Amino acid sequence: MELGIKGKRALVCASSKGLGRGCAEALAAEGVNLVINARNDEALQATAESIRNTYSVEVIAIAADITTESGREEVLAAAGNIDILVTNAGGPPPGMWSDWEREDFIAALDANMLSPIALMKSVLPGMMAKGWGRIVNITSMSVKAPIAVLGLSNSARAGLTGYVAGTARQVAHAGVTINNLQPGIHATDRAIALDTAMSNAEGIDIIEARKKRCATIPTGRYGTSQEFGAMCAFLCSQNAGFIIGQNILLDGGAVNSTM
Ligand code: NAP
């Protein structure tokens, strides 16, 4: 399918690995020039080089913590007048409801709610002035179905989802779409960290923990970054201009609901 976005310019945050990288690669495959970001410069530069070589697009790589104001300023300055924004950052640590204090919630809200909101506020005026823009936020299936050990994620991402629901409808008239992608379990470093957390909590080995987590998914496997990126690229396409404020679950059927 021709997505009609060749030559557009995208900022994909937190994208040296995992789901962010999957989105960056899927956009690059459509001929979109990229600004990518992560904290570790070495891994980021390696990803940038690999994407340039594979897809022959321009890739600017900015090493910065996207959850800080200074990090965002640096990334946004390099990004300039972008057409596409994909927000992403690492997820909060797992734990128990009784573990989390005010500062833990503030950190989670900063990373997974207030950072994407700040990024959207920065780029929306430029997109609206051009009459075209696409914003995709990587959130989590935990917004639809709580993951008990990820209470910080459940809380922060629900807040972001509420903000997007209203804002997407305020900016749609200017040709800008905002939607959220809700990943279930995908085979990335984050999945390894959560497999390890289960293995430690239950005193089982990591293979056993992965089997138990796979058994919660009707597909019987974790998702891939490529599958995830393909949906992101579609939401950024010309064809997706009528999709506004939606939350799209990519979870292999793990959330058991009729609608
Ligand atoms: P991942 O494989 O661990 O990759 C995270 C990427 O983000 C890396 O490139 C990392 O690079 C970068 N990053 C992390 N924190 C950053 C920060 N503060 N500033 C800039 N870059 C940052 O994780 P993932 O699986 O792709 O997950 C992406 C998001 O989806 C997370 O919020 C996660 O909680 C959520 N999610 C994932 C799953 C899953 O199963 N994979 C399921 C539901 C939700 P550096 O470390 O070098 O910064």
State the distance from the centre of ligand 1 to the C-alpha of 189, rounded, in angstroms.
8
- Please tell me what DSSP assigns to residue 187: S
Q: Which of the listed residues 17, 41, 160 should we mutate to test ligand 1's pocket, taking the one with most ligand atoms within 8 A of CB?
A: 17
pLDDT value at 163 more than 90: yes
pLDDT classification of 258: cutoffs 50, 70, 90? very high
State the distance from the centre of ligand 1 to the C-alpha of 130, rounded, in angstroms.
30
Q: List pLDDT tens digits, range 10-54.
A: 999 999 999 999 999 999 999 999 999 999 999 999 999 999 999
Sheet of 176-183, strands arranged across: 59-63, 33-38, 9-12, 84-87, 133-138, 176-183, 247-250
Q: How far apart are CA 32 and CA 250, in angstroms?
A: 23
State the distance from the centre of ligand 1 to the C-alpha of 131, rounded, in angstroms.
31
Q: Residue 16 CA: which ligand 1 atom is closest?
A: 9
The structure's pTM equals 0.97
Q: Give pairs for 93-102: CB < 8 Å, separation 24+.
A: 93/152, 94/149, 94/150, 94/194, 94/197, 95/149, 95/151, 95/152, 96/149, 96/151, 97/151, 100/151, 100/152
DSSP state string for 137-175: EE--GGGTS--GGGHHHHHHHHHHHHHHHHHHHHHGGGT
pLDDT classification of 177: cutoffs 50, 70, 90? very high
pLDDT value at 241 more than 90: yes
Sign of CA dihedral 163, 168, 170, 171: positive
CB 205 less than 6 A from any atom of ligand 1:
no
CB 144 less than 6 A from any atom of ligand 1:
no
Tell me the two tokens of residue 71.
């990090």
